Chain A
C-alpha cells in the first residue's frame, strides 16, 4: 500500500545543513499497524510527515497504492484525503465547534450533504465518546478529548491509512489511556496505521510490526516480540533496555584516577545506584586496569546501566593484546579475589587483536 524507497531528508534552513533521514526503505501493507520507535531527533516524525508530503523529501520515492506521490502531476490533495493524520498538538480548528471540525472535511471535500455529514460526525463522536461535546468549542476540551476529536475528524474522511505523530506526547499521564484505547479500537477494526510513539507497552500490544529508527534509517525492524524481547543490534538493545552509558579513556598508568572516580560517582548519583554499587564499581575500575597495565596500550572503559532491568556492566577494552590475563597464574591472587567479590560474572575474550573484559556488577538484590 505504501512503499518508500531511498527516502532522504536534509534541512537546509538551519545554520549547518542537517540530515535527518539518510536512507529509509520500507513497504507497508494494508491492515498493518506499524509502530515507529527510537530516540528523539532520529527522524521518526519527519519520516511520517514525508509520507503525506507535509515535509518535502530531499530525495527518494514514495508510492501510495502504486502512485508516485512525489510526481508533480499527482493530485496530492486527493491522496491526502485518503491518508489521515493525527498530530501531537491535536491542531483542531479552533474557530469551529467540535461538530464542525468533524463535518467540514466531508462537506467541503467529499461534497457530502450536510445532514449526512452531521449524522456521520455524531456516530464518530459517539465512537470516541464525545457526542455530548458536539457543540462545544475546542478550547473548552481537555487535551485527551481534543485528541479524540482529532481522531474522529480524521476518520470522517474515511481514510485508508492513518498517520499518528506522537498522539500522546502532549498529554498529561492521566489522559494518555483514553486516547490509546481509541487507537486500540481502530486497530481491532483493521485500520492501517503508522504510529510514532514513545509508549512502549502500547506499541508492543497494538502493532503488527515495529520500526526502530536511528541514525536516519530504519535501524531494525520486526515483530513486537523480536524488537522488544530480543533486539539484535546494539543500539536497539540500548534503547529497549534503556541503557545509560559512561565511557572513559585510560591512556597509560599515569592517568588521573581521581577524575575518573569523580565521573563514576556523578554517574552513580545521577541514576541513584546507591553506595554499595558505587564502591563495587570503584573496586573494579581500580583493580582490573591495574592488572591490564602489565601490557602497554590504552584502556577504553565503558559503564552500562539498564534502567529497564537494572543490570550494570563494566567493560574494558585494550588494543594490541592477544593474551588472556584473568586466568593467568601470574596474576595477583588478591586483586582477583577482590574482583570476583564485586561482580556476579566476568568474561574475558580476545576479539581481533584487542582484549575485552566484561564484568556484571553485583546488584543489591542478589
Chain B
C-alpha cells in the first residue's frame, strides 16, 4: 500500500477539499455578490465528485485494494453508493437554495462552501475504516451543519435550531467518544478490522458498554427514537433548503456510518446489539407516526416522517445480513428522492406576497388552485406511506423481505402493522389538499429549479421507478457485498 494508491482512492475527497478551500477564498475576496457563481461551482464540484466515486460502485470495488492509509479509509462500493446519494442531495440542496434565501436577502457566499465541507465530512464518515476517521468525518459534517442550521440569522427560530442542534449534537458526540474510548480500552485498537478480531472471543462487559454508547451516539445522529427529540425543532427552525439538506444527506451518511460500525466492527457480535436495534426501529416507527399526527407545520410533520422512515431502514440493520444492508441502501435511495421531493414541494408553497407557507391548513384545496403541485405532493405522501404502486412501497418491500428471509417474522409483522399508523397522517395531507374547500393561500410563482427537481423526484417515485428497481437492487447488492467482504 503506497501513498499514491491511497491518494488516488481519496480523489473525491481531494476534489471537494480543494474546491471548498478555493471557493472559500473566492467568497472572502468577492463577497456575497459572487454567491451565485460559488453555488454553481460547488454544484459542479459535487457532481464531479459523484462521477469520481461512480466507477468504484459500478465495478463493485471491495477488498484490500480499496483500503487507503493502512485501513483508515475505505473507498469500496458501499462507500460509493452512499457518497453518490450524499453528493447528489447536497447538490440539490444548493440548487434549491437561492430562490429561498433571496427572499430574505440572506444568500451568502458561505452557504455553498459550508455544504461542500459538510458533504466532505459525510463522505469521510461512510468511508471510515477506524474510529478516528469516523469521528473526524462526523465532526467535520456536524460543525458545518450547526452553522447551516442557524444560517438565517434574523430569524429567531433559525438561531434556536442552530443552538439546539449544537448542544444536542455535542452531547451525542460526547457519548459516542465515550463509547469509542471504552472500545479502545478493551480491544486496544481503533481499526474496525482490529476491533472485530479482538472481539472474536466474545464481548466483555466493558466492550458491551462501549457498543451501547456508540449505538446511542449514532442513534442521535440518525434521529432514531428515543434520541429523536431535537429533530422536529431543528427541522422546523432551520431554513427550508437547509432542512432539505439535513433530511437527506446527513441521514444517508449517519446510517451508512452506523451500518459500517455495526456490521463491520461489531458484525460478529450482532446478537449483542440486534435487540437494541430492533427496539429502536420499532420505537422510531411508532413514535414517528404518532408524533406526526398532531402536527400543523409541514416541516415538523416531515421531521416526524423522517423519524418514521429511519425506523423502517433500521429494520434492515437489525437483521444484520447482506440482504438487510442491501435493502437499507435501496430504501435510502428512495427515501432521499421522496424527502427531497417533499421539501421542494414545501418550498414551492408560497402565498401571494411570496412568503413561504408552512402551515398545513393553508394547503386546503390545493388540488384546485395548484393541481400539478398538489398531485406531486400527493404522490410523495402516498409513496411515503408505502402504498403501491408508488416506489416508496418498494423500499418497505425489500426491507421486510430481508427481515422475513432472516426469520425476523415478528419484527416484520409489527413493523408493517405500525406503518398503517403512519399512513393516517400521510393521507390526511392528501385529504386536506383534495377534499377540503380551497383556502386560497398558495398563489406564489415557483422557481424553475424547484419545478425541475420536483418533477424528477416525482417521476422517480412514480410506478416508472420500478423499471429502475432491478438496476438499483443490483448496485445495492454489490455495495452490501463490499461491506460484508471486510469481515
Q: Does A associate with B in a complex? A: no
